[in-house]
Structure formats: C-alpha cells, structure tokens
Chain A
Amino acid sequence: MAYSDKVVDHYNNPRNVGSFGKDTPGVGTGLVGAPECGDVMKLQIKVNLETGVIEDAKFKTFGCGSAIASSSLATEWLKGRTVDEAAVIKNTDIVTELKLPPVKIHCSVLAEDAIKAALADYKTKWGTQAPAEAAASASS
C-alpha cells in the first residue's frame, strides 16, 4: 500500500511528540485504543486556564504510519483552538487531509476519540472551575 505524501511527512517528522505531566495545570490526557488491536494513542492538551485556549498539545502513538500521522495532525490542529473549537474536529477531516484509504479510516476514528478523551479529561480535572479559579487552585 502506498502512503500519501502527508502521511509520510508526519511519520518522518512527527509534530509534537512527547508528554506533559498528567497533573500539570490545564492538562487533559486521552489514552485510547488497545495494544491487542495494534493501535494505542495518547493525546494530551495543555489549556491556558485564563483564556481556555489550547496552548500546546502532545502525542505518543503505538500503531501504523497512518495512526501516527493521524495523531500528529490532530496535535497540530488542536494548538491555538479553544476547547469548544477543538471539539468539532471530525475524523473525516483527518481522512481528507491525509488521504487515508478505507482500511485506514479506523486510525482517524481513533484520533478523534483521543481528542474527545483528552477534552473530557481536561473538563473533569479543570473545567468545572472558572479559568481564574483554576489557575489559583493550581498555584496553591
């Protein structure tokens, strides 16, 4: 199977590989997939608690090149969005951007799941507080 140039580019130069400490203020972590299925994605967002904007995002992925590319692309798209704007990213956007073939659509679905899981984790940990309060509680 030939990969699209964009998949190859993300595979060779993955954007935003890495991890944030799970309890760092404003960080939401999504861990989706399963080792026995051959794909696991960890996607993290770091939200500015004052503005609600995703300032940084990181990922680590166990999976094929398309899975790596899907999560790498997701981190690129997440940066600079507000939490609400992030929630509208759809797997079909990823399929289109990376020109994923039908057998690789599950990679994009997993990336969307990872985004949702990271947002949900962020909301659970930090979202109930007003941005300023959260910042205060984090620094205390």
Chain B
Amino acid sequence: MLKFPIFMDAQSTTPCDPRVVEAMMPYFTEKFGHPASRNHPFGWEAEAAVDRARGQIARLIGARDPKEIVFTSGGTESINLALKGIAEMYREKGNHIVTTVIEQRAGIDVAKRLERQGLEVTYVPVQPDGLIDVAEIEKAITPRTILISVMFANNEIGTIQDIAAIGRLAKSRGVIFHTDATQAAGKTPIDVEAMGIDLLSCTAHLVHGPKGAGALYVRRKGPRVRLTPLIDGGGHERGMRSGTLAVPLIVGFGRAAEICREEMADEAARIGKLRDRLQDMILSSVDECFLNGHPDRRLPNNLNVSFAYVEGESVLMGLNKETALSSGSACTSATLEPSYVIAALGASAELAHSSIRFSLHRFNTEEEVEYVGQRTIEVVKRLREMSPLYELAKEGVDLKSIKWKAD
C-alpha cells in the first residue's frame, strides 16, 4: 500500500531512522549530563557517548583518529568554520582560495563574504557533465593559495568529483584541501586518508540522523590543520568550536553514521537500482528530456532531469499533494533565478527552469518509484499540451529564431 505523500526530496533532508531515534532517547532524559563536566558520572557518561559518536563518524570517513571530528550544528556551520577558520588562521601565509561555481549556497556565500573582506577567490568552472576539471584547479593555484574547497558530490545533480586527484594535487602544492561532503557522506565510500582530504564537512540530517548536528573533520597529522574558531567560549572541541555539545543529536549522528557504514554497499545498490528504474521510465516515455550531471559518477540516490518546454515549478505543483520533489526552477525560491548549478553546466536558462530533482532515501520502495515515475510522466505530458513552446517546437519552429519580449 502506498502512503502519501511520498518523499523523494532526500537531498534536502531525510527522515530519522527509528534505530537512530532509539539510540538518542536516553540522552534526553536519564543520560542528560554535560560532556565537559569532568567530576561526576553524568558528565563521564555524556563524554563517553560523544566520543563513541566521534569514533562512529571517523570510521565512516576513514579518519584515523576520532579526535579529528569536531562537532558543529550542521553542514553550513562546518563549511563556515572550515573556510573562515582557515582564511583567518593562515592569512600570514596567503590570501587566496580556490573553489568551484557549483558549491552549495553555504560554500558560495562564505567565499563571497571572504572576498568582501579582501581575500581572493577563484571559482573554477564546471564541465557540461558536472565534473570539475582538476587541471583547472591546478591552473588556479598561486603561491598565495591557502585552501582548495571542492564539494564531494553535488546537491542538485549528484555528480561525484575526483576527490582523490584533487587531494593529490593539494598535497603536492602544499595547500589545505576542504571538501563539502554533506551529500556524499554515508552514500558513497569516503576515505580521508586515501583521498588526501584535510577538512571535510558533513551533517547528520542527510544520513537519516537528526537535524541540528554536523561535523567537521580536521586533520591532525600530515599536515596538522589549525583553525581559528568562529565561536569562542569554553574551548570545547579542541578549542575549535565552543558551546555545550548537543549530546542527544550527536549520539544520533553517530548511530546514523554507523548504520550507513554497515549498510552502505547494500543500500547504494538497492537505491541505485530504484533510481535507475525511475530514470529509465522517465527518459523512455518523455521526449526531449535530459539527464543533468554525470550519468555514472553520481550519487546512487540522485536523478536530475530537465523536461524541455515545461517549467519546473508547474511540474511540482502537479505532484505536490502526493509527492515531494525539488526543482531548480526560479519560481521555487524568492530569487526568481533558475538553478545556478544547472545553468553552470551550460544548459540554456530555459532548461535550467525545467529541471526536477528526484532524490531517494533508505525507506523508498519500488512501488513508490513506479508511482512517482508514472505520475511525473502524466503531469509533464499534460503541461506540454498546455505549453506554447512545445507547440512551436512541434511545428518545427526554432525557438531561438523568435524575438522574445522579455521584461
């Protein structure tokens, strides 16, 4: 039996796994201690729980030492701490950061702020398939470069970058390497040692953990990375992030990471198969729709398609009573600008307005995929019947030949 609404917007957030909630529960009530309380059992118990979570997260990303995990409030804070913390700590050494045009909003917005504060930032372009050309990063490095920041996998198109190659490059040039792995962690194997990652941002709520907990991996050896904290106070988290730790959320994050590590191989295969089924259904039934991003080097849970001649928000509107999806269209946000990620791929602005993101999660079923695929096809076909662009295209009119009166 299908239960509505169906959630296929798992790159925005995910439901907590019941096993995660179960692990968290005692830490709200009987195990409520402050992990920095060193002189009584309540504190010891909380500290042990937090350290266990550190270990669980460290193992998920291949970190050698659990102490390298710094807890934050989420991905956005981790990214802020990484970029601003490095910029401040290493400002004697240099003033240049290399990042990409497809970072998530936090990455772009922090870089813009640093620029306003006098840093130089190079935004490396993306190729049409969603991959960043490592040679472009290499070209951008100067003697004043202190940080390379490249997302592991993109939040809209799911494209997985060649992180190991970027790690090698960073190492060879003596530049610190941060990756935003908020979308990748728990979905695809990560090994900070093998991949040469110095800083890594991740968040609990995208791996079936709770909202409000995130982590920044900060390498301790080879090189020892130092950061200026954003938040001053009691000197928690090795002085990098003061503030009482959100113990229940962190326990949940740890448990969520542990489940991901144990089940990743099976889950990726299962979800990847569902995603492929959805993709095949849609691409084989609808003419002139295009896959955005790399077809293979992609998160198993991501599908991003542009449906030519129909606008994304209108597609969502046809589905949103029963299915939660996301669109790169302008109208979904207050900005009225279409997805900068899809636009950066070189797609026309029209196709950027027409993009829909399906993102699957642990609890999606085959039945849900069949339903969502079928309904999407119906809605797109109905909207095409209403689309003047589709009509013109079918008449053989080249849409580019028309002089559009844009306001």
Residues in A lying within 8 Å of B, measured CB to CB: 3, 8, 11, 14, 17, 19, 31-42, 60-68, 103-104, 106, 109-110, 113
Contacts and interface: CB of A to CB of B under 8 A. Distances in A.
A37 B404 CA distance: 10
Contacts of B405: 32-34, 113
B310 interface: yes
A60 B317 contact: no
B329 interface: yes
Nearest to B404: A34
Given A38-B330, A41-B388, A65 B406 contact: no
B344 interface: no
B334 A14 contact: no
B219 interface: no
Contact of B311 (A17, A34, A39, A109): A39
Contacts of A41: 388
Given A19-B391, A60-B386, A62-B389, A38 B406 contact: no
Contacts of A103: 331, 334, 336
Contacts, number: 93
A27 to B, nearest CB: 15
B259 interface: no
A33 B405 CA distance: 6
Contacts of B391: 19, 42, 60
A35 B387 CA distance: 11
Closest 9 CB pairs of A and B: A34-B404, A36-B349, A42-B388, A34-B406, A35-B350, A38-B353, A60-B388, A64-B313, A65-B317
Given A3-B317, A63-B311, A65-B314, A40 B407 contact: no
Given A11-B314, A35-B404, A62 B348 contact: no
Contact of B348 (A32, A36, A60, A109): A36
Contacts of B385: 17
A128 to B, nearest CB: 23
Nearest to B406: A34
Contacts of A33: 404-407
A109 B407 contact: yes
B231 interface: no
A60 B314 CA distance: 13
Interface residues of B, number: 30
16 contacts: A8-B317, A35-B350, A35-B389, A36-B404, A37-B349, A38-B311, A38-B336, A39-B311, A42-B388, A60-B387, A61-B388, A64-B317, A64-B331, A66-B331, A68-B314, A113-B407
B254 interface: no
B309 interface: yes
Contacts of A61: 386-388
Which of A32, A42, A64, A106 has most chain B Cβ within 10 Å? A64
A29 to B, nearest CB: 10
Given A64-B314, A109-B407, A38 B386 contact: no
B287 to A, nearest CB: 16
B311 A64 contact: yes
Contact of A62 (B309, B317, B334, B336): B309
B389 A40 contact: yes
Contact of A65 (B313, B330, B348, B390): B313
Contacts of A31: 388, 402
Contacts of B329: 38, 64
Given A17-B386, A65-B314, 11 more contacts: A11-B314, A11-B318, A35-B349, A35-B350, A38-B330, A38-B331, A38-B353, A40-B404, A67-B314, A103-B334, A106-B407
Contacts of A36: 348-350, 353, 404, 406
